[in-house]
Chain A
């Protein structure tokens, strides 16, 4: 792998046959269909797909918050698990930052440590050296309401990183940020990832972001969500932002867009025929 540490031969997570159907009184929605994934240790894998294709649903399952349809196989560290058994085993950052308005920045960041039963003083000591790295120095005692969108997102990321687990799930963490802040955050995230050697699964609906960040890009189709394409990103790291305009990058982008487009046309025709 480009990172030099990823090891796909001993995957940390393997999914096969994973489907998820939502049934309510009137409608049945197949959110995910036959998902198969292998994530190697230390890998940065991005998942890209149109909104509504089931990306957040996939993360909810991996965080242990929802059980997929019967027949799915989830292997975490080689052991077969039910989704519920993953509760507390995976560091999950949901799409909204969900910072608690009554807790200061520090206290929001250490929330998972306190949930684990660590006393506040010890948790603060653990968190302290990270504030600089997460660009939050001087804001420790602010309340979330006083921060910009980008800073709130960094607090949420810090909270996720302090919950040290072998797999980290990030659901569109930069989706609501302006383009400039977003590109700064992307490069910053890569630095943090390389330093902390985490395994990251990262959701986005932005094709450029998916390629720029990932060792591999999983392209999902519109509903029902399936893995349409798995694309290796052979671009060297560290990746400068000038890479975004390189011919290699553009070729990769074209490949992803073509896969998505083919699907969109299909689903568009399907809807039109209904």
Chain B
């Protein structure tokens, strides 16, 4: 399937779930695998951008979680969409998640949680889910993760003092773990600096780089 080709689609809903963070739902035209991305735009004259699907394989709609970039070309247009408006979306593609016999840790900051929400809703299990953010509202889908994973879901809160959260960044959490599992798979997702720092830290603590898979939202 040509993932460069854009299919006409329609908006089902748009919701601001936190300041300048939105969930956009649209028609499910194709089946897909958890962790896949789509190219998406709302106007043929604007180059499509890549988005990780945050909906699960069995959901009836497709969904993305996106960050409004005030100076950006596409996202300021996306936030003005209404139900029924036209979207152009590619066939989902990519293979971030590899079903493996090994256990997994999922590590994200910000909207990087999107592919892990897709994995969770598709029934995949993780041994640990670390989500880093600065504000309570930025722990997107927190209730869903808590329900599905309980104690395995750790919110790394780098500024506010919420009861039950780990106080500090995801890197601080990893540093605090006495014996880090080496023979499991680590999935990292988010902006480049977090991914690079976490990857370096895991490698420094003895995790083989072959066990670390990173998706960067560049």
Do A and B pair up? The answer is no
Interface residues of B (CB under 8 A from A): none
